[in-house]
Amino acid sequence: MNILLETIALQKIYKVGKIDVEALRGVNLRIRQGELLAIMGPSGCGKSTLMHVLGAMARPTSGKVMIDGENITGMTDNQLTAIRRKKIGFVFQKFNLLPTLTARANIEVAQHIHGQAAGSDHDQHLAKILQLLMIEEKMGRKPFELSGGEQQRVAVARAIANRPAILLADEPTGSLDSKNSEIVLNMFRELNRRFKQTTILVTHNPELVAYTDRVIEMRDGVVVSDNDPIPRDTESELVQPARSV
Amino acid sequence: MYKKMIMAGLAARPVRTTVSILAVTLEVTLILVVVGLTAGISDETAKRTEGVGADILFQPPNSSLLLALSNSTMPVALGDKIREIDGVKAVVPIQTQVNSTSGLEVIYGIDFDKFNEVTGGFIWHKGGRFSAPDEVIVDDIYALARHVNVGDHVELLNHKFKIAGIVEHGKGARLFIPLQTAQGMTGAVNRASLFYVKLKDPDQVHTVIERMKQVFPTYGAIPLREYAKLMMSTSMPALDAFIETVVFVAVCIGVLVIFLSMYTTITERTREIGILRSLGASKQFIVGLIFQESAVVCLTGIVTGIAASFLMARLVTLVFPTLTVLITTGWIAKASVFALLSGIIGSLYPSLRAAAQDPVEALAYE
Ligand SMILES: Nc1ncnc2c1ncn2[C@@H]1O[C@H](COP(=O)(O)OP(=O)(O)O)[C@@H](O)[C@H]1O
Ligand SMILES: [Mg+2]
């Protein structure tokens, strides 16, 4: 199977004054096309940092990060931006809709940035998404006129409207009640089944595990467990680097 | 799409947007009205000067082109010597005074008979020539503007004058008093600030000026027609400096307000910028967004500024009928360019700063 994301000895250090904070201390991961997986771990273990690097929002301090075959380690800001634009969709805990725009305009902005020319094929895709997320009726509303669950579904629609190969969701249910969490999580699974984009959900909520095929556990900046259903040596001849823990 | 985003952003902050637009409006209006007023005044002066009917303006050494500003004088007796130059028909000494109690009014102290001789005479609406030293002749526009009539008293240069007559405008000034009175008031007895010279043959202007320069090498003698042209353009150094100062101040107002507005906007919208960056918007996209937002503010301000300028021009002429405000298409274009320029300068730093934001940090901004 096609490997879409790969990290090798990924390290990320934040400089806070004179102190180095090592948020990622050698992470090795391989994620295949179409996978739906969860990254779990306590707060502060480096999940968000990993998401930012996997989503080309931040560069690693050292190590290698391959996104769809391209190493982002030495990339310029414009190159990283292009990767985000073409391949990544983000969903955040705080919904992060543009507050002055309607739900529809929020999605249109993403399409505009992506450079997607409006066409019937594209409209059909979006219509399917909106139907699946059950927000077709809410498109004329602004974020403050929507419930948290609705806002998050608009954010999901915006993230996948341009058919990104990779959907990254950082604590997508962190601001939702359990009922809305369930709705949103079911939708992630359904969207993954329908549109086959690689989906990574970050959470510190163990209940989320039930919705994914694969769970990666992190602690203190490293991966401590990974129930990868397909053994590594059967899929690639790449040499597996030594684990750092 | 850009458009929708920009409009929504501006609409979400109505007070700031309105104030920014008003600042650009002020910038444009300030430029157009001040330039229009100075252009109007010199244009008006030029027309009046040309209407005098004289051929040559004779001034003391080193005198300013702006009649109102010259305060050096020469002896009236010089007029007799000018009169002797070949080709000269008549000479009239004039003492100029400026009354600044209500606007700038140039007053001519004239030798009535000689003035008539040079200019071909006043066209009378009412009344007649001076019969006493404390009398004044005013033109019809002045009389209309001040609602005064023959026999009324007006206060000029801290003196009370009785209106002796009202004449058709276009003889160099709006107010005329006897030469001796003007001389007495300034203590410049037997002195004149300028001479108007009438020639036997107006086509001989340059030949006669050559002759004048031989007799009076340090004095200034210029054809009245040319002088009028000089007044018409704003090519006088003092006026140019004044206009430049006004334009500079106006542009500064625009730059500062746009800067402040855009700077607070990008700070407030740090998170939105982070969202756009996460969606794959490039730095250039962010810069473009902020520039276009300020462009909308500037363009709106330019339109309202031009409208406000014409409104102000109407108001000025209503309140001060003696003043004209000349708003030219050339200056409308210039003022618009200045306003756009202040928008560009004002949003340069904010836009670059917004683009330089780290996307992750921008997203985490509270
Ligand atoms: N911008 C930053 N500057 C400094 N330290 C940071 C920054 N972002 C995260 N960290 C630190 O890196 C570690 C990992 O953070 P994060 O990736 O947000 O973890 P998680 O998402 O699992 O809670 C934490 O110790 C956190 O304090
Ligand atoms: Mg986190």
Tell if the CB–CB gap between B8 and A109 is shorter than 8 Å: no
For residue B276, which residues of chain A lie inside 8 Å, CB to CB? 98, 109, 113
Whether residue A98 lies within 8 A of chain B, CB to CB, comes out as yes
Edge-first strand order for the sheet with A88-91 is A88-91, A166-170, A198-203, A36-40, A214-219, A222-226
Quick one: pLDDT band at residue B67, thresholds 50, 70, 90?
A: low
Higher pLDDT, B20 or B106: B20
Q: What is the pLDDT of residues B98-153, one digit of tens each?
A: 877 666 778 899 989 889 888 888 889 988 989 999 999 999 888 888 889 999 99
Residue-level pLDDT at A237: 45
Mean pLDDT of B298-313: 96
Q: What is the pLDDT of residues A14-33, one digit of tens each?
A: 999 999 999 999 999 999 99
Tell if the CB–CB gap between B5 and A85 is shorter than 8 Å: no
Measured distance CA(A227)–CA(A201) in Å, rounded: 15
Does residue B19 have a pLDDT over 70? yes
Q: What is the pLDDT of residues B252-263, one digit of tens each?
A: 999 999 999 999
Q: What ipTM is given for this predicted complex?
A: 0.92
Mean pLDDT of B178-195: 86
Distance (Å) from the C-alpha of residue A106 to the closest C-alpha of chain B?
Answer: 9
Residue to mutate (ligand 1; options A10, A19, A27, A48; most atoms within 8 A of CB): A48
Tell me chain A's radius of gyration from C-alpha atoms. Answer: 18
CA B346 to chain centre: 28
Beta pairing partners, B220: B59
Domain ranges of chain A: 3-228
Q: What is the pLDDT of residues B22-41, one digit of tens each?
A: 999 999 999 999 999 888 87
- Is B197:B90 a contact under the CB 8 Å cutoff? yes
The residue whose CA is least distant from atom 16 of ligand 1 is A46
- Which tokens sit at A79? 């190159």
DSSP 3-state percent helix, strand, coil across chain B (nearest 5): 60, 15, 25
Residue-level pLDDT at B32: 95
* Minimum CA–CA partner of B13 in chain A: A100
Residue-level pLDDT at B70: 53
Residue-level pLDDT at A23: 96
Mean pLDDT of B165-183: 88
Tell if the CB–CB gap between B280 and A158 is shorter than 8 Å: no
Domain spanning A3-228: CATH superfamily: P-loop containing nucleotide triphosphate hydrolases (3.40.50.300)
Whether residue B4 lies within 8 A of chain A, CB to CB, comes out as yes
Residue-level pLDDT at B68: 44
Residue-level pLDDT at A245: 44
A51-55, A223-227, B186-190: least confidently modelled range:
B186-190
Residue whose token pair is 């969709």:
A89
Helix axes B270-278 and B283-319, enclosed angle (nearest 10): 140
Distances (CA, A) of B211 to A179, B83, B193: 105, 12, 21
Q: What is the pLDDT of residues A108-127, one digit of tens each?
A: 999 999 987 666 677 888 99
Rounded to 10 degrees, what is the CA torsion of A140, A144, A147, A152? Answer: 80
For residue B274, which residues of chain A lie inside 8 Å, CB to CB? 96
Task: Give the closest residue to B21 by CA, choosing from B253, B301, B295, B262.
Answer: B301
Mean pLDDT of B299-318: 95
Beta strands in B3-158 (DSSP E): 56-59, 74-75, 88-99, 105-110, 124-127, 135-139, 153-156
Q: What is the pLDDT of residues A192-244, one digit of tens each?
A: 999 999 999 998 778 777 888 899 999 999 999 998 876 655 444 444 454 44
Residue-level pLDDT at B63: 65
Whether residue B3 lies within 8 A of chain A, CB to CB, comes out as no
Write down the mean pLDDT value for chain B: 87
Residue A158: which H helix or E strand, with range? helix A148-160
Higher pLDDT, B184 or A138: A138
Quick one: pLDDT band at residue B273, thresholds 50, 70, 90?
A: very high
For residue A112, which residues of chain B lie inside 8 Å, CB to CB? 1-2
Task: Give the closest residue to B67 by CA, choosing from B59, B76, B78, B56.
Answer: B59
Measured distance CA(A180)–CA(A152) in Å, rounded: 9
Distances (CA, A) of A111 to A78, A79, A174: 18, 19, 26
Task: Return the number of other C-beta atoms located less than 10 Å from residue A180's C-beta.
Answer: 18
Residue-level pLDDT at B42: 76
Q: What is the pLDDT of residues A67-82, one digit of tens each?
A: 999 999 989 999 999 9
Residue-level pLDDT at B45: 72
For residue B272, which residues of chain A lie inside 8 Å, CB to CB? 98-99
Task: Give the pocket of ligand 1 (CB within 6 Å).
Answer: A 14, 16, 21, 23, 41, 43-49
Residues in B 306-365 with any Cβ partner in A closer than 8 A: 358-360, 363
The residue whose CA is least distant from atom 13 of ligand 1 is A23
Instruction: Tell me which ligand sits closest to the C-alpha of residue A49.
Output: 1
Measured distance CA(A171)–CA(A152) in Å, rounded: 11
